[in-house]
Structure formats: C-alpha cells, structure tokens
C-alpha cells in the first residue's frame, strides 16, 4: 500500500469520473526479470549480455466511486551488456553496463507517455556496499503534427523533470538493506529521490518500506511533484 500527499488529478481531467474520485492510497507493485543471452564470455572475461523487463503498476484498489482500475502501468524492456573492469579502488570491484531501453505506459491519446534511452552505468561494490552511476541520453522523436496524433513525441519535456542521470546506492547491515536512488536536472532544478528499506519477515519474504519525493515516480507523473510512502512485501533484496 502506498500513500501520496498529492495524487495527480490533472492528467485525468478529460476522463469523466476519474479525477475527482482518485484515492490518495493505492496498491503499488513491481516485477523485474532478466534473462542471460550468452553463456560464454564474448569480449571480456566474465562479461554477460541480458534481456531485462520491468513492470510497475499503481492500482486504485482502495477507491470507492470508480471500479478500482489500474491508474498507471509502466513497461520497460531493455537489452544491456555487463562486464567487469580490472580496476579495484579502495579494495573494491568495478564494472560497467551499456544498454538501451524503452519505457511506456501503453496508453493512447492524452494519457500516452513513453521514451527511449541509451545509457552507460558505472558500478562499484565493496563488501556490503554497492554504487551505480547511470547517465543516459534520450533518443529523439518527431514532434506531433497535432495534439491527438498517434505518432510523435508524447512528452517532449520529460528530460526537464526526469533529469539525465541516476545515482543509486545500496548498503546491507546485518539483515537489513538500505537503498537510495536519485535523479536530477541541474539546469531545471527538477528531479526525484527514492529511499527503500527491506527487513526480515518470515521465510523468504521480506518487509519493505519505501519513500519517494519529487518528479517521475511513474511516467504519467513525470511532471508532477509529490511525496509517497509505502509499506509492503519484497521477494528479494538488491544485493
């Protein structure tokens, strides 16, 4: 369950009954998978090539006056190459990723949001700590000929709010894992932050706390600032 202090009603104004009846609490879930596409090293000893897919959904299961719809679902397929580096600062290990990804919400007309990116990701890990610095470049799209055109860029200013890089950090202490993600556009002073904590529950299930603030928690909210706090269950840790 996830609570927000500022549900995005503006995006849903054209749809009768939605905007005024959205609940500030909803269910949020994420599923991420990756599949290796090689079983032997290709260019560097220990390198790997993957297909990945992440799905995130925000479900208005607690709304009373609309039929408990999925308010937003984001789909993110990607291909990426992962390889170690022979560089060990501070006694740790380093590596890099190069990838291309598409992200969209599968909606039409006024609710459609999407973008394509290529990225480079520098990785560092030592003991119970890991760091990721991921700058990206958005692949350009053609402008829409008119507002309701099916072709063309649905969100030309997304970079102004989502920034041009993401910094991620994870630290594991005893049986607790702390995670941080941050994005920033220094020219526009827009960005977002995500804090997470997983802790033991029972068996393989982990408890999960998450706090987000700023822009871009989902694609429909890329230009909408809010704070969210959620509690739930995680099946795995990051580390």
pLDDT tens-place string over residues 159-208: 999 999 999 999 999 999 999 999 999 999 999 999 999 999 988 899 99
Q: What's the length of the chain?
A: 239
* Weakest mean pLDDT among 146-155, 165-174, 213-222, 225-234: 146-155
Q: Would you state the pLDDT for residue 37?
A: 97
Which sequence positions are flagged as catalytic?
102, 104
For residues 191 and 193, give the distance between their C-alpha atoms in angstroms, rounded to a whole number.
Answer: 7
**Would you list the DSSP string of the chain?**
-EEESS---GGGTTSTTTGGG--SEEEEEEEEEEEES-SS-SSSTT-EEEEEEEEEEEE-TT-SSS---EEEEEEEEEEEEEEEES--GGG-EEEEEEEEEEEE----GGG--EEEEEEEEEEEEETTEEEEEEEEEEPP-PPPSSTT-SSS-S-TTHHHHH-SEEEEEEEEETTEEEEEEEEEETTTTEEEEEEEEEEEEETTEEEEEEEEEES-SSSTTTT--EEEEEEEEES----
- For residue 15, the model assigns a pLDDT of 84
Mean pLDDT, to the nearest integer, of 205-223? 97
- Residue 237 — pLDDT band, cuts 50, 70, 90? confident
The model's confidence at residue 17, banded by pLDDT at 50, 70 and 90, is confident
pLDDT higher than threshold 90 for residue 214: yes
Convert the pLDDT of each residue in 46-82 to its tens digit. Answer: 999 999 999 999 999 999 989 999 999 999 999 999 9
- Average pLDDT estimate for 136-151: 86
Query: 38 CB contacts (<8 Å, ≥6 apart)?
Result: 48, 49
What percent of the chain has a predicted confidence (pLDDT) above 90?
89
Residue 122: pLDDT over 80: yes
pLDDT of residue 87: 97
Instruction: Output the pTM of the full model.
Output: 0.94
């Amino acid at each position: 369950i996830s609570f927000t202090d500022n549900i995005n009603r503006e995006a849903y104004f054209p749809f009768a009954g939605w905007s005024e009846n959205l609940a500030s609490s909803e269910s949020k879930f994420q599923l991420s998978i990756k599949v290796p596409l090689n079983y032997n090293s290709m260019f560097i000893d220990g390198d790997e090539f993957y297909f990945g897919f992440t799905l995130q959904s925000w479900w208005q299961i607690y709304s009373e006056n609309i039929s408990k719809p999925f308010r937003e679902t984001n789909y993110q397929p990607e291909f990426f190459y992962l390889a170690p580096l022979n560089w060990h600062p501070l006694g740790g290990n380093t590596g890099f990723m190069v990838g291309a990804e598409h992200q969209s919400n599968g909606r039409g007309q006024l609710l459609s949001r999407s973008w394509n990116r290529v990225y480079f990701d520098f990785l560092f890990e030592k003991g119970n700590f890991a760091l990721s610095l991921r700058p990206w470049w958005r692949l350009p799209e053609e402008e829409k000929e008119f507002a309701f055109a099916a072709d063309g860029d649905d969100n030309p200013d997304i970079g102004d709010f989502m920034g041009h890089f993401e910094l991620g950090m994870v630290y594991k202490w005893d049986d607790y894992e702390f995670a941080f993600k941050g994005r920033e556009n220094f020219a526009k002073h827009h960005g977002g932050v995500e804090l997470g904590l997983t802790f033991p529950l029972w068996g393989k299930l982990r408890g999960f706390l998450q706090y987000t603030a700023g822009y871009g928690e989902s694609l429909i909210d890329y230009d909408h600032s809010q704070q969210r706090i959620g509690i739930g269950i995680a099946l795995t840790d990051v580390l």
